[in-house]
């Protein structure tokens, strides 16, 4: 039920989201105002690598990687988001397989087939984050790389959806396991809320080797126009958590 709500929500806000989220096809942005993939080099050489993007939205990351020679597949639960992906793929003259699916249950994808999995700001929407980690692990080849970014659990404490930038307060308990909220679409949403330890322990228990954890502080050069207060907040607390993990063969 709630999974359908998430899907419906994303189908309804796809246009609004894509208008705001203008990503470049030159590089991958893991966090607002922070160093991009070309500087961080988390993925390594992607040429001829089989890459899956989990919760791909309009698939900008996949397009960027396909332009660099990656063989990409994008998965998203929202058909409306995938329509944007389809158009951008055509515009950019690249070849990317798109799958409409739930990244908590990727039954349509075989085991051990991808060299790299990437996900930006989709794991925030899970009902069971460990299920998504398990699926990422299963579909990666041994020693495969998984790089993801998600909203930082500390930032989540601000109840960021209706953030009043002038009166910041902790509005959610850090220990809450589930967050229920109503977004602009009026649809009730229920998502898994993770503590840092849930994320780290989840990855370890599933068999990932944690290689790098980044809690980016934005770089001055990227101050977002008219959003100075937001910029001040994300200079005090991390907005994003970036993890690079490796699938250790069992
Ligand atoms: C904030 S958007 C991020 C999209 C893209 N990765 C980006 O960085 O712009 C979250 C995306 O996750 C997708 N999503 C949410 N829950 C999902 C699930 N269970 N399986 C697959 N995709 C999901 C939504 O449809 C949406 O496209």
Confirm or reject: Cβ of 57 under 6 Å from ligand 1.
Answer: yes
| pLDDT at res. 121 | 95
Identify the helix (H) or strand (E) that includes residue 216.
none
Confirm or reject: Cβ of 103 under 6 Å from ligand 1.
Answer: yes
Neighbour tally for 33: CB within 10 Å = 20
| pLDDT at res. 220 | 62
Atom 1 in ligand 1: residue holding the nearest Cα: 121
Identify the helix (H) or strand (E) that includes residue 179.
strand 178-182
Cα-based angle 127, 130, 136 (whole degrees, multiple of 5): 110
Atom 16 in ligand 1: residue holding the nearest Cα: 125
CB 29 within 8 A of CB 242: no
CB 157 within 8 A of CB 171: yes
What's the whole-number average pLDDT of the chain? 90
Give the separation between CA 132 and CA 102, rounded to whole angstroms. 9
Q: Which of 161, 156, 190 is nearest to 175 (CA)?
A: 156
Which range scores top for mean pLDDT: 24-33, 171-180, 225-234, 238-247?
238-247
Confirm or reject: Cβ of 132 under 6 Å from ligand 1.
Answer: no
Residue 193 banded pLDDT, cuts 50, 70, 90: confident
Helix (H, G, I), strand (E, B) or coil at 244: strand
Structure tokens at 4: 């359908």
- Torsion sign over Cα 96, 97, 101, 105: negative
- Spatial neighbors of 148 by CB under 8 A, at least 6 apart, are 54, 117, 118, 119, 120, 123, 242, 243
Q: Which of 211, 195, 204 is nearest to 244 (CA)?
A: 211
Interval between CA 126 and ligand 1 midpoint (Å): 9
Instruction: Classify domain 47-151+195-247 at the CATH topology level.
Output: Rossmann fold (3.40.50)
Atom in ligand 1 nearest the alpha carbon of residue 78: 25
Question: How confident is the model over 114-127, as a mean pLDDT?
Answer: 96
Confirm or reject: Cβ of 29 under 6 Å from ligand 1.
Answer: no
| Length of the chain as a residue count | 250
| Residue to probe by mutation, ligand 1, list 14, 57, 99, 187, most atoms within 8 Å of CB | 57
pTM above 0.75, yes or no: yes
Interval between CA 75 and ligand 1 midpoint (Å): 9
| pLDDT at res. 173 | 87
DSSP notation for 101-153: -BTTB-TTS-SS-EEEEEEES-GGG-S-HHHHHHHHHHHEEEEEEEEEEEE-H
């Amino acid at each position: 039920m709630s999974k359908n709500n998430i899907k419906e929500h994303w189908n309804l806000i796809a246009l609004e989201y894509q208008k705001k989220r203008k990503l470049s096809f030159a590089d991958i942005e893991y966090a607002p105002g922070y160093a991009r993939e070309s500087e961080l080099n988390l993925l390594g050489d992607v040429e001829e690598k089989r890459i899956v993007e989990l919760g791909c939205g309009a698939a900008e990351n996949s397009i960027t990687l396909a332009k660099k020679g990656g063989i990409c597949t994008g998965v998203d639960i929202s058909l409306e988001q995938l329509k944007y992906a389809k158009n951008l793929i055509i515009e950019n003259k690249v070849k990317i397989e798109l799958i409409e699916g739930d990244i908590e249950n990727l039954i349509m994808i075989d085991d051990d087939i991808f060299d790299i999995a990437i996900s930006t700001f989709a794991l925030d929407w899970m009902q069971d984050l460990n299920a998504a980690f398990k699926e990422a692990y299963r579909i990666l080849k041994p020693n495969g790389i998984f790089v993801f970014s998600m909203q930082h659990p500390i930032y989540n404490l601000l109840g960021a959806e209706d953030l009043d930038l002038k009166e910041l307060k902790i509005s959610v308990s850090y220990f809450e396991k589930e967050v229920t909220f109503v977004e602009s679409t009026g649809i009730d949403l229920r998502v898994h809320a993770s503590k840092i330890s849930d994320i780290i322990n989840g990855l370890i228990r599933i068999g990932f080797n944690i290689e790098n954890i980044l809690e980016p502080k934005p770089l001055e050069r990227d101050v977002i126009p008219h959003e100075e207060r937001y910029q001040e907040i994300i200079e005090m607390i991390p907005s994003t958590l970036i993890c690079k993990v490796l699938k250790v063969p069992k």
